[in-house]
Amino acid sequence: MPKIRVLPDILASQVAAGEVVERPASVVKELVENSLDAGAGEIRVEIERGGAARIRVVDDGCGMSKEDALMSLERHATSKLRTSADLAAISTLGFRGEAVPSIASVSRFRLVTRERDSVSGTEVLVDGGRVREVKEAGCAPGTLIEASALFFNMPARRKFMRAESTESAHVEHQLRLHALAAPGVRFRFDKDGREIFDLPPVAKALDRVRHLLGAESSSELIPLPATRGNGVSVEGFVLPALHARKGRRHQCVFLNGRPVEDSVISRALAEGFRGAVAEGMHPAAWLWIDLEPHLVDVNVHPAKREVRFHRPLDIRDTILESVTTALRPKPSAAIFDAPATPVGRASYTPPPRPSVPARSPIPPARTWTAPAAVQPALPVAPAHRPSAPVEETPAAPVSKAPPFRHLGLLHQRFVMLESEDGLVLFDPRAGRERIFYEKLLSGKEGGVESQGLLVPELVELEPRDHELLVRERAALAAAGIELDSFGGNTIQVRGLPACLGVTDSRAFVDLLVEELLHESTPGPRFAFERVARLMARRMAAGLPVRMIETSALLDGLFECELPYCAPDGRPTLTEFSIRELEKRFGLDRGNA
């Protein structure tokens, strides 16, 4: 009896769904892409309970006949490919013919569609991949697809879904990407019967970016000049280097109308901002790239998020040229009336690199002067006074720090110490972070004192960032950060930690989101520790390095539970033993 068998169609569709349908946002992505391919001018998306209960996508596209509606439920059935040559030049968002049958195999599925010149439409009901009913239906031109009880027949997949607020945030983020990719299409989004946004069609992508980004950040947008070359066309917008973040969440890239993620594009953006943003930070950008279809392969990822370029250097050079041209400083007006440049003489050309200030400018070096030796006070006989009871002076606390001998400062940044075994370099900034961090943790039960803002600050965030802060609101309150949801994706900041002296609450919230999102150990029970880490780094950042404070700083550091590392794992002290130093210089310790 043969051991190898062909999978049943329903099981094969469920296997394909594992790659295509990861979460409700994946369903929305596939259905919206089909609507855009159908020429829709308006797309409406409705979800309930984060999409787990119901997802409904309605468009006014070309619609389907009864035969095409039934054929769309078959695996690998598509109207977008005919020959293998078409696969090398794909100009549509979808092309595999797997999305609809995969979604139908893991949900209770309903399809209602009608062509524009047809009198009536077609309704198809599918239950877990099995067609249950096909009938005529009265409907508007276009297509309606409804997927209810997602993963009802796959409990193992269903239990891996996140909280409803998290799934809703991912759906909204996906819709915003498609709204940016297709600014000429109207997008409407309803969540649990409440309208979240209604984006009208616009003629320019800038209007759609402004609508989604907000008025304050939109005023800082820097337009990229349209740059063309070698079959590539790039245009878009960037924000100044001040808005650079750790992750690439603020980089929206659209290739031939498709939202994509690609390291070539990210590296080109980072190179264009070189010298303006710190290492590991990524600038905020919105790029629309038009590329000849045969120069890119979009069939390298199951969810079509990643692509592969045939000539990646052309993409890099075009993006780099566009970004550097946009950031190149404009010649300022002359203070005095300079004579006009004669014809035939070379005119001034600005430098090719931007002069945007760095995110964290390095302060000018300070010269350390050794403190003058203080002569100990000589004992002086007191004047004759009435005798008084002598109070006992409490004994000074014994320091737990090793007996270091202080040598000096290195580049106004590190303290050089001599130990019994060799040379020790001490990072005062990391030491202060450890001290502040453990003090914050020790006072967790009582919470960190919060300073209320005179006027609460309203901060508009991305859907996923808003959901994250609201979810961990209790832990943030323990850290002295008081905030509430203000409707939509806006939060109201009412109080900030009094010990920080924050002047720009909006920038502080951005840093807070970055800290919470880029933590390897997610979860609300770790939220206070993550916030305390951010606060400790913020408290230690602005303090100067003074040699005279080293002894007190070391005493406080060695009172901590973990004195040898900062909260993020960086070492506070590094020792170079005398034996290691002798080996580096080729010396034998016995003959020294």
Question: 435 with 497, same domain?
Answer: yes
Weakest-pLDDT range from 70-74, 203-207, 274-278, 511-515: 511-515
Of the residues 307, 327, 347, which one is the last residue of a structural domain? Answer: 327
> Does residue 430 contact residue 589 with C-beta atoms inside 8 Å?
no
Number of domains observed in the structure of the chain: 3
State residue 17's pLDDT score. Answer: 62
pTM of the model: 0.68
Question: 254 with 295, same domain?
Answer: yes
> Does residue 359 contact residue 278 with C-beta atoms inside 8 Å?
yes
Angle between helices 164-181 and 24-37 (to 10 degrees): 20
Q: How far apart are CA 554 and CA 400, in angstroms?
A: 9
Tell me which H or E stretch contains 138.
none
Weakest-pLDDT range from 184-193, 250-259, 354-363, 444-453: 354-363
Say if 283 falls within a structural domain.
yes
Q: Report the pLDDT averaged over residues 544-563.
A: 85
Question: 34 with 149, same domain?
Answer: yes
Say if 589 falls within a structural domain.
no
Q: Checking DSSP bridges between strand 450-460 and strand 490-497, what pairing results, if any?
A: antiparallel
Choice between 521 and 467, residue whose per-residue pLDDT is larger = 467
Question: 211 with 149, same domain?
Answer: no
Say if 477 falls within a structural domain.
yes
Question: 230 with 183, same domain?
Answer: no
State residue 15's pLDDT score. Answer: 66
The residue assigned the tokens 């606390």 is: 397
- Looking at residue 129, what DSSP letter applies? T
Strands (E), 26-104: 42-48, 54-59
Angle between helices 428-442 and 550-557 (to 10 degrees): 40
**Average pLDDT value over all residues in the chain:** 80
Question: 81 with 128, same domain?
Answer: yes
Question: 493 with 552, same domain?
Answer: yes
State residue 364's pLDDT score. Answer: 38
A 10 A CB-CB count for 24 gives 27
Question: 232 with 127, same domain?
Answer: no
Phi, psi torsion values for 87, nearest 5 degrees: -65, -25
pLDDT exceeds cutoff 50 at 147: yes
The residue assigned the tokens 């309704």 is: 123
State residue 394's pLDDT score. Answer: 54
Of the residues 281, 309, 327, which one is the last residue of a structural domain? Answer: 327
Say if 378 falls within a structural domain.
no
Question: Residue 216 corresponds to which tokens in the numbers above?
Answer: 């304050």
pLDDT exceeds cutoff 70 at 505: yes
Please classify residue 347 by burial: count the beta carbons closer than 10 Å to its beta carbon, then call 0-12 exposed, 13-18 middle and 19+ buried. Answer: exposed
Question: 173 with 248, same domain?
Answer: no
pLDDT exceeds cutoff 90 at 46: yes
Question: Residue 51 corresponds to which tokens in the numbers above?
Answer: 């999409």
Q: Checking DSSP bridges between strand 285-291 and strand 251-255, what pairing results, if any?
A: parallel
Of the residues 172, 201, 230, which one is the last residue of a structural domain? Answer: 201
Q: Report the pLDDT averaged over residues 576-590.
A: 80
State residue 384's pLDDT score. Answer: 46
- How far are the Cα atoms of 83, 237, 499 from residue 523, in angstroms, in the given order? 49, 34, 26
Say if 468 falls within a structural domain.
yes
Question: 197 with 51, same domain?
Answer: yes
Question: Residue 325 corresponds to which tokens in the numbers above?
Answer: 């041209």
Say if 334 falls within a structural domain.
no
Print the domain residue range for 467.
405-574
Say if 397 falls within a structural domain.
no
State residue 524's pLDDT score. Answer: 45
Question: 61 with 191, same domain?
Answer: yes
Q: In degrees, to the nearest 5, what angle opens at C-alpha 122 toward C-alphas 29 and 304? A: 20
pLDDT exceeds cutoff 50 at 381: no
State residue 26's pLDDT score. Answer: 92
Longest dimension (CA), the chain: 118
pLDDT in tens, 255-298: 999 999 888 899 999 889 987 887 778 899 999 999 988 888 88
State residue 36's pLDDT score. Answer: 94
Question: 173 with 239, same domain?
Answer: no
Q: How far apart are CA 536 and CA 539, in angstroms?
A: 5
Weakest-pLDDT range from 279-288, 425-434, 496-505: 496-505
Say if 79 falls within a structural domain.
yes
